[in-house]
Structure 1
Amino acid sequence: MCGIYGIITDRSVDIFRMQEAGNMLGHRGPDASGIWTSKNNRVGLGHTRLAIIDLSANACQPMSNEACPGCGRRNGSNFITYNGEVYNFQEIRADLEKKGHVFKSLSDTEVVLHSYEEWGEKCVDRFSGMFAFAIWDEKNQRLFLARDRIGKKPLFYYWDGKLFAFASEMRALLALNISKSVDLTAVYQYLTYQYIPAPHSVFENVFKLPPAHCLSLQDKKISVKRYWSMDFSKKIEVNSEEDLSADVFARLKESVRKRLISDVPFGAFLSGGIDSSIVVALMSELMDEPVKTFSIGFEEDAYNELPRAREIAELFKTDHHEFIVKFDALNVLPELVRHYGEPFADSSALPTYYLSKMTSDFVKVALSGDGGDESFAGYDRYYALKLMRKFRYVPGVLRSLSLKALDIYGESAGKSRTKRLKRFIQGSLYPQGLEYLHWMTAFSKEHTRSFYGPAMQDVMSQDPYEYLITLFKRSSAGDIVEKAMDADIHSYLPFDLLVKVDIASMANSLEVRCPFLDHGLMEFAASIPPEYKLNGRIKKYILRKAFKGLVPEKVFTRQKTGFGVPVSKWFRHDLKDYISDTLLSRVSLDRGYFRPEAVRSIVSEHISGKKDHGARLWTFLMLELWHREFMDT
């Protein structure tokens, strides 16, 4: 795993700027770095390396497709800067060698480069893995960028019609001296979803290359194309649950096996939930030595997964390590904001950062269970969506009264059942089809007039729900639950979960691999009839069947906790003064995003315990800290 960056300009490449961009990505690649410039000095590619496969200098980048005695690889016709892992690179290499290609390293980078030489832009169809790369084609004077199907590896780019620049992270892109002006539409999306979906970014003229897309730049013309998509419409015929369970087991085990290829030590994140337990169980079967496992917890019992993780670690006799988060807001939050580069309000980025930091002290690669919920229907909201069909038969008046009755108990914080029930009922008061949007947003459309200030007036006429509504409409799934799963795979998964994990882990020079995100496995999961994923109230039905006996039954039956953070409690106690001083400061209120009286009301209501605004306050806080880090300095 690495950091990549580059520039195409009408002027000479500024080596100082290139070096500064590389410095901004040093955490992504602490083992080596390099810069290549074209002979006319109009094109520059940069790379920082985290060495995982082929630790020799032969695998350093930027790399060319031909070796030149005395001058390294400078005289090639194609040049690459690459971030990721292509797990089937050995099979592709064998095919290329039969076609006469000669390799100078054992790395997957060189395989990607020669694949482009052999198959052109169609090379991406052959790759199985996670990647973001750029290839400069000297012969055709073309830049080719590509990103993996699911969106594991990030890729930002800037284009103003004259200057083109790209980088793995926003800070590196800014170091290439691009202009920066806040995109208010992106801020509107951030406030709605707590992340900014591709292709937008927080800055105008800065874009994210969407997952499963490639980009070509030639003669100052850009072409962005999708090369892969999920298909939920084609379903397999299930002859027996036993056969289907065996197939799921075998495919997931193979996915884990492929992700154990490494020339450096590796381990696994372990929460004690279904997905991470399955990954650790399969690793234990495939490895000759104890799996190194890593878990994190909080002092608050409701958010502490350590006892569950410890049970699994003991069962599979892993080399287990634990860490308790003790929040240091003044030091950690600004650092997180710098790494994420744009407003990002998933508070579980905090424990993910701490977990990655601890893990990186022992290994350079970790496997995780991310992606299992989206492919096998693991979220409670999927069952809620199914249940909503029946609940809507209850008269709206009674639903409204039940909501008022629950208000008598006061505002519940965190993961209480009362809070979840209230959120479910609130969703039922929206028009059919929009309840899921309510559950997936921090600020609803109703909040815009009461919360948002003058700076947001020009974008408030836009429908913030249009983004998710479009994903539901274009889904090939015929079942409402699968439509939600499909929408999550194209939104929440790549732009929230995977961003969170990539940035938090790479900030600590740690590569994270996700067996559940193997695109072949995901395609297979999409082809399974929906009743084998959500069967009645049983989530991940076929996954439970497949791993029954290997993973303890209680792992499947206990309540899902998720990777939550007790921000509501922190904002009422340890961080009460911090949140007040930050959000109610004159600098913050004068930005104009929110009506000052609305912010004061939200802070007051939360601290007093009248209402739980924890998630909204975190969203406000991340936006304000981002402004201080990227716009005020």
Structure 2
Amino acid sequence: MCGIAGWVAFETDLTIRSQTVDAMTATMGCRGPDDSGTWIRAHAGLGHRRLAIIDLPGGRQPMSVPTPSGEVAMVYSGETYNFQDLREELLRKGHKFVTVSDTEVVLRGYLEWGDAVAERLNGMFALAVWDERVNKLVMIRDRLGVKPLHYYPTRDGVLFGSEPKAILANPLARKVVDLDGLRELVGFTVAPKWSLWKDMYEVEPGTIVTVDRDGIRQRRYWSLRPAEHQDDLDTTIDRIRELMTDIVHRQLVSDVPRCVLLSGGLDSSAVTGLAAARLASLGEQLRTFSVDFVGREETFTADENWDSPDTPFIRDVTDLVGSTHQFIMLKPGDLTNPDLRRAVITARDMPVGFGETDTSLYLMFEAIRQESTVALSGESADEVFGGYRWMHDPVAVNAKTFPWLAYRSPMSGDRAAFLAPHIRARLELDSYVDDQYATAVAAVEHRDSDNEWQKTMRVNQNLHLTRFVRMLLDRKDRISMAVGLEVRVPFCDHRLIEYLYSTPWSMKTFDGREKSLLRAATAHVLPESVLGRRKSPYPSTQDPGYALSLQQQAKEVIADRGHPVHDLLDQDWLAGIVQQDVAKPSDARRGIDRVLDMYHWLDLYRPDLRF
């Protein structure tokens, strides 16, 4: 795991611009606290910050290989879980290795197969290769977009980086945010290639972007395609069990301490059970971590989102599998510290407004990093197995918009309510969301044999796997890497996703519940309580002190009349919101979080706003 950055310029001598490449690389320091390196040639500069996970002494980057026609250099972020298999194949083809790192396997894989190496990699990765033999930059991103990668075209080349902040450190990049950036920021459609910053783009998941003197081109090497599912129910369950076991085993490979994030839900508990069994066979004990709020278990009140607190289920799992567990307990004062909010905004490079779900995640990751460097997560199981409540709600499924916007969720409601009326009018948010939805649906492939219901549910799952999951993966990556923690996501293994994407929806709900196949495939490592538990969201504090502190900070924003945030806000809305009851998560409480995020983001980034 690491952070990468770089600059390609075909009409500029970058050997005299090395300080700029150094500055771009330095912004990735949190992603790579263990080492730093740059590689500079006339028309290409590559930078790398390393979080050492595998082959601690041998995996330094940038890594390069000389060839008779020129040098080939690479910077790489992520993990390739099948690197040992690929290494054996490359050895048989005559390649010589000087390290035991997955980085060298990927680089030599490029030398052997060119950019087709992408199709052979099983993992989470974002990489950039400068091929001096043909003066070409090749950028590759993993199939699901677990690892981030952004680029910014320039007059004579391109800037790139794991995060926007690396690109913004180059004076060629303008810090402009226009209406298109703002629309998606509040729209939550997760538009392809979108970046908040004008003229900056994401390398799309499953895509290769090449840059040479003729310009920038992209090629998709992987996409979701339905196939006929031939297996019966028992065979399907067995196949999922085999895949999940192999995936977790591969993702436990590490030369540094690793753990599992355990919430007490089905997803994380399944990963925990499989990981504990694997480590027990090796004579090791698994470590698990969870986050909760002081007093939440004792004062918990059930509502439409949470039926029960997490803690009893976590205890049941740890008692069963024998893991060493640590509860990371947070107080309202921990979550409302403005410095913490600014740290999260800096990690994400934008004012998302997710409040304590982001700040508590940051604090949890920060605490885990004191004990472990690698953590396995249950993220993305809902997208893969069909776990979200709105996936099973007929109104949301048939709403002709993104299901997470049609159902009551943190992304629904009037998401632009905090903005000044003239800005809201210019956004034309409803039209934007409708256009994005139509574009997304048109890209979904169907089988000739699909009936209308099957098509509807395939669209439902496709939207989650190509759009919604990217928002959650980016959140987890950016916040975890801000404290130097690598979080792995077993449910994003493309083999599992391809298999389940073609599995009939009726089989995914064969017992009348969500995630039926995951429950059946991992029942052997789960306690009965978890097997019977209903889906619960990420925990949110119900402490009224949290909401009161938010409102006080919002009042301080109101008092700071000279601040540029007031050019963006609906002043009547803001004046009313600080008087409302926001003790529990609500549109009003989320609105305050968006205001506070915007307030601090403007201070931190000083963007050129063109609304």
Quote the Cα distance in structure 1 between the aligned partners of 2:74 and 2:399: 50
2:276 corresponds to 1:284:
yes
| Residue of structure 1 equivalent to 2:345 | 337
Shift of 1:569: 4.4
Shift of 1:447: 7.0
Matched residue SS, 2:85: helix
2:378 alignment partner AA: G
SS of the residue corresponding to residue 297 of structure 1 reads: strand
Of stretches 340-349 and 132-141 in structure 1, the one that deviates more from structure 2 is: 340-349
Q: Alignment partner for residue 179 of structure 1, among 165, 174, 199?
A: 174
Are the counterparts in 2 of residues 8 and 164 from structure 1 also a CA contact under 8 Å? yes
Could you tell me which amino acid in structure 1 is paired with residue 229 of structure 2? I
Query: Is the counterpart of residue 99 in structure 1 residue 108 in structure 2?
Result: no
Q: Following the alignment from structure 1 to structure 2, what is the Cα–Cα distance between the partners of residues 449 and 510?
A: 35
Q: Give the counterpart letter for 2:421 in structure 1.
A: G
CA distance in 2, matches of 1:275, 1:610: 24
Paired letter, 1:18: V
Give the letter aligned to residue 437 of structure 1. Answer: L
Whether 1:7 and 2:10 are equivalent positions in the alignment is no
Deviates further, 281-290 or 431-440: 431-440
Aligned residue in 1 for 2:328: 323
- Between 466-475 and 360-369, the greater mean CA deviation after superposition: 466-475
C-alpha distance in structure 2 between counterparts of 1:77 and 1:145, whole Å = 17
Residue in 2 that maps onto 1:46? 47
| SS across alignment from 2:46 | strand
**Alignment partner, residue 116 of structure 1:** 110
1:162 and 1:220 in contact (8 A); partners too: no
**Cross-structure match for 2:450:** none
Matched to 1:21, the amino acid is M
Deviation at 1:543, TM superposition (A): 1.5
Q: CA deviation at 1:444?
A: 6.7
**CA offset digits 1:40-98 (Å, max 9, x no partner):** 2x311000111111111x32110112399xxxxxx962100000111111111222222
Deviations along 1:471-501, one digit per CA (max 9) or x if unpaired, are 233223534233222101111111x211111
Q: Is the 8 A contact 2:224 2:501 kept in 1?
A: yes
What SS is found at the alignment partner of 1:604?
coil
State the 1:445 CA deviation.
9.2
Is 2:259 the counterpart of 1:295?
Answer: no
Number of matched pairs: 579
Provide the residue aligned with 1:349 in structure 2: 358
Alpha-carbon distance between aligned partners in 2 of 1:449 and 1:318, rounded to the nearest angstrom:
45
1:534 maps to 509
Q: CA deviation at 1:549?
A: 3.6
Question: Which shows bigger deviation, 25-34 or 15-24?
Answer: 15-24
TM (norm. structure 2) is 0.88
SS at match of 1:480: helix
- Rounded to whole Å, the distance in 1 between the matches of 2:190 and 2:543 is 23
Instruction: Please give the residue correspondences for 1:55-134 in structure 2 after superposition, counting only pairs within 5 Å.
Output: 55-56=56-57, 58-66=58-66, 77-134=71-128
Distance 1:588 1:306, change over 3 A: farther
SS at match of 1:77: strand
Distance 1:243 1:20 in 2: 54
Q: How does 1:519-530 map to 2 (within 5 A)?
A: 519-530=494-505
**1:472 corresponding residue in structure 2:** 441
* 1:523–1:170 CA distance, 2 compared to 1 (3 A): same
TM-score by length of 1: 0.85
Partner of 1:463, secondary structure, is helix
Q: Distance in 2 between matches of 1:212 and 1:181?
A: 28
- Structure 1 Cα separation of the partners of residues 185 and 542 of structure 2: 19
Aligned equivalents of 1:140, 1:458: Cα separation in 2: 46
8 Å contact kept, 1:128–1:518: yes
Structure 2 residue 590 is matched with structure 1 residue 600 = no
> Which residue of 2 is the match for residue 267 of structure 1?
259
How many percent identity over aligned positions?
28
User: Measured at CA, do residues 275 and 443 of structure 1 come closer, stay the same or move farther in structure 2, by a change above 3 Å?
Assistant: closer
Question: What is the identity, as a one-letter code, of the residue corresponding to 1:15?
Answer: S
C-alpha separation between the residues in 1 aligned to 2:253 and 2:543? 41
Secondary structure (helix, strand or coil) at the match of 1:182 reads: strand
Which of 414, 418, 421 matches 1:453?
A: 421
- State the match for 1:188 in structure 2: 183
Partner of 2:155: 161
Partner of 1:307 in structure 2? 312
1:464 aligned counterpart, secondary structure? helix
Contact in 2 for aligned 1:142/1:218 (Cα 8 Å)? yes
Whole-angstrom CA distance in 2 between matches of 1:484 and 1:148 = 22
Q: Is the 8 A contact 1:4 1:81 kept in 2?
A: yes
> What amino acid sits opposite 2:55 in the alignment?
D
**Other-structure match for 1:216:** 210
After superposition, the C-alpha distances for 1:215-244 in whole angstroms (9 at most, x for unaligned) are 10010500022211112x3231233x3322
1:379 partner letter: Y
- What's the CA shift for 1:513? 1.0
Q: Answer whether contact 1:296 1:355 (CA < 8 A) is retained.
A: yes
SS in 2 for 1:65: strand
Give the corresponding residue for 1:510.
Answer: 485
User: In 2, distance between residues paired with 1:265 and 1:285?
Assistant: 17
Q: 1:32 aligns with which of 7, 30, 35?
A: 35
Q: Is the CA contact 1:583–1:624 (under 8 Å) kept in the aligned structure 2?
A: no
1:373 to 349, 374, 382: 382
Partner of 1:407: none
Q: Give the 3-state SS of the residue equivalent to 2:339 in structure 1.
A: helix
In the TM superposition, what is the alpha-carbon distance from 1:621 to its structure 2 partner? 2.7
Alignment of 1:497 with 2:472, yes or no, is yes
Residues 354 and 197 of structure 1, relative CA distance in 2, 3 Å threshold: farther
Q: Secondary structure at the match of 1:29?
A: coil
Match in the other structure for 1:400: none
Report how far residue 363 of structure 1 moved: 1.2
AA at the equivalent of 2:466: H
What's the offset of the Cα at 1:18?
2.1
Deviation at 1:536, TM superposition (A): 6.5
